[in-house]
Amino acid sequence: MKQTIYLMAIREALDEELQRDDKVFILGEDVQQGTFGTTTGLVDKFGPERIMDTPLAETAVAGAAIGAAQAGFRPVADMMFGDFMYIAGDEIMLKAAKWRFLHGGKVNVPVVIMAAVGGGMKLGAEHSMIPEAMIMHTPGLKLAVPSTPYDAKGLLKTAIRDDNPVVFFYHKGLLGLPGEIPEDEYLIPFGQADVKREGSDVTVVATSAMVQQSLAVAEQIKDKVSVEIVDPRTLEPFDLDTIIESVKKTGRVVIVDEDTKRCGITAEIGMQIMENGFDYLDAPIQRVAAANMPIAAGFMEEHVLPQPKNIAGAIEAVMA
């Protein structure tokens, strides 16, 4: 094993896959420099023909990636901020998501749509979103939301090799997170949740930065409550079984998500637990998510985004 950080893990995955398969290329605004460091330096090794700086045109970035994927390449489109994906709403949610289905399964779209997501940096309503629900809601898109360097690398390699469109969200607040990864090549299959912490009193389901927040809260209250933390790692495909197994043991569930609460993933996961594990529940499921507001800028953002105290409060409530 070796020590790395989240953003280096992403860069390594890109590097290895660019090396392995010459059909892989990266396109996006300023990917040669790498706005968040995830693609930085790759141009030195692979050249501007494969690390392609585009004009400021998100619609063309996504659309061109999808078109190239339909025609046999395996592009990774970097949208910079997840918020900007709305600009390519038609291309991502209609074209990438539906193309194979509409064409009778005859055309594959092996594209990765990658973007930095999440708040905590006081960047306001249009540079802080983590639009997980929109992607999870759209049939045809897979969605990976890594919470550790290990997961980030393994999931991105799988994403690039997948023959379907995959949205890969890396969290801005996790870029410097340290962690261990194997020296040797490895992949993480989609649809396999990971128990990030074992416990027996309450199951906390969380993704991305909320996994790290939940781990911190679990550690703080470990003398009072034994918290199990399950990280689905991919929201589509979704590993409900691991969650149900945990609920059978604990009987209590808190779901934590950084995206907007209404019609969000906490409602969806909550309902799937209810549909498949109602008899194991000792208390109503608690959900913690962003308030039904745009993400406020500056110091106001903490009044909209979920905070550790909200997670602690929900654990307390479900244990009561």
Partner 1 sequence: MELTQDQLIKLYTLMVRTRKCDELIVNALKSGKAIGFFHSGQGSEAVPIGACTFNLRDDDYLYPHHRGHGIGYMLARGLSPKPFVASHMGRVAQDVEGPTARERGIHGGSGTIGASFVLSAGMGITAKKNGKNQITACFFGDGSANRGTLHEAMNLASVWKLPIVWVCENNLYAQYMPLKDSMAREDIADLASGYNMPGVIVDGQDVLAVHEAVKAAVDRARAGEGPSLVECKTYRYRGHSEGGPDISHYEPRPAKELEEWKKRDPIKLFRENLLQQGVLTDADVERIDKEIEAEAETLEKYADECPIPKPEDPSVLDRLLYAE
Partner 2 sequence: MKEIRFVQAINEALEEELSRDEKVYIIGEDVQAGTFGVSTGLVHKFGPERIMDTPLSETVIAGAAVGSAMTGYRPVAEFMFADFMYVAGDEIFAKAAKWRFIHGGTVELPLVFMASMGGYAKLGAEHSQSPESMFMHTPGLKLVVPSTPYDAKGLMKSAIRDNNPVVYLFHKRLLGLKGEIPEEEYVVPLGQADIKREGTDVTVVATGMMVQFALKVAEELKEKVSVEVIDPRTLEPLDIDTIIESVKKTGRAIVVDEDTKRCGVASEIMAQIMELAFDYLDAPIQRIAAANYPIPGGFMEDYVLPQTKDIKAAIEAIAD
Q: Which of 127, 137, 171, 303 is catalytic?
A: 127
Q: Which position among 39, 287, 301, 315 is part of the footprint of partner 2 (CB under 8 A)?
A: 287
Asked if 181 contacts 13 with a C-beta cutoff of 8 angstroms, the reply is no
Q: Using CB atoms within 10 A of its CB, is residue 319 exposed (0-12), middle (13-18) or buried (19+)? A: middle
Residue closer to partner 2 by CB (options 13, 85) is 85
Torsion sign (Cα): 280, 137, 237, 295 = negative
Tokens representing 268 are: 């969806």
Task: Say whether residue 301 binds partner 2 (CB under 8 A).
Answer: no
Rounded to the nearest whole angstrom, what is the least distance from the CB of residue 255 to partner 1 in the complex?
22
Region 83-122 residues binding partner 2, contact defined as CB under 8 A: 83-90, 93-94, 97-98, 101-102
Query: 156: closest CA among 138, 142, 135?
Result: 142
Which letter does DSSP use for residue 77 in this model? E
Burial readout 62-85 (b: 16 or more C-beta within 10 A, e: otherwise) = bbbbbbbbbeebbbbbbbbbbbbb
For residue 242 the two structure tokens come to 């691991």
DSSP 73: -
Nearer to partner 2, 83 or 239 (CB): 83
Task: Choose which of 176, 271, 303, 309 interacts with partner 2 (CB under 8 A).
Answer: 271
CB of 9 to partner 1, least distance (A): 21
- Binders of partner 2 among residues 163 to 202 (CB under 8 A) are none
230 binds, among partner 1, partner 2, none (CB under 5 to 8 A by kind): none
Which residues here bind partner 1, judged by CB under 8 A? 29-30, 32-35, 40, 43, 48, 53-60, 83-84, 86-87, 121-127, 291, 293-294, 296-300, 303-304
Q: Is 127 a catalytic residue?
A: yes
239 contacts partner 2 (rule: CB under 8 A): no
**Which residue carries 């990864």 as its tokens?**
181
Instruction: Report d(CA 164, CA 160) in Å as an integer.
Output: 9
3-state secondary structure of 72: coil
Closest CB 288 distance from partner 2, rounded Å: 12
Q: Which is nearest to 84 in space by CA: 115, 119, 60, 52?
A: 115
Residue 32 or 276: which CB sits closer to partner 1?
A: 32
Report what 43 binds from partner 1, partner 2, none; CB cut-off 5-8 Å by kind. Answer: partner 1
- Give the footprint of partner 2 on residues 119-138 (CB under 8 A): 124-126, 133-134, 136-138
70 contacts 111 by C-beta, under 8 angstroms? no
CA 194 – CA 119 distance, rounded (Å): 23
Q: Smallest gap, in angstroms, from Cβ of residue 242 to partner 2?
A: 18
Residues designated as active site: 127
Judged by the rule CB under 8 A, the positions of this chain that interact with partner 2 are: 83-90, 93-94, 97-98, 101-102, 124-126, 133-134, 136-140, 236, 260, 262-268, 270-271, 274-275, 278, 284-285, 287, 291-294, 296-297
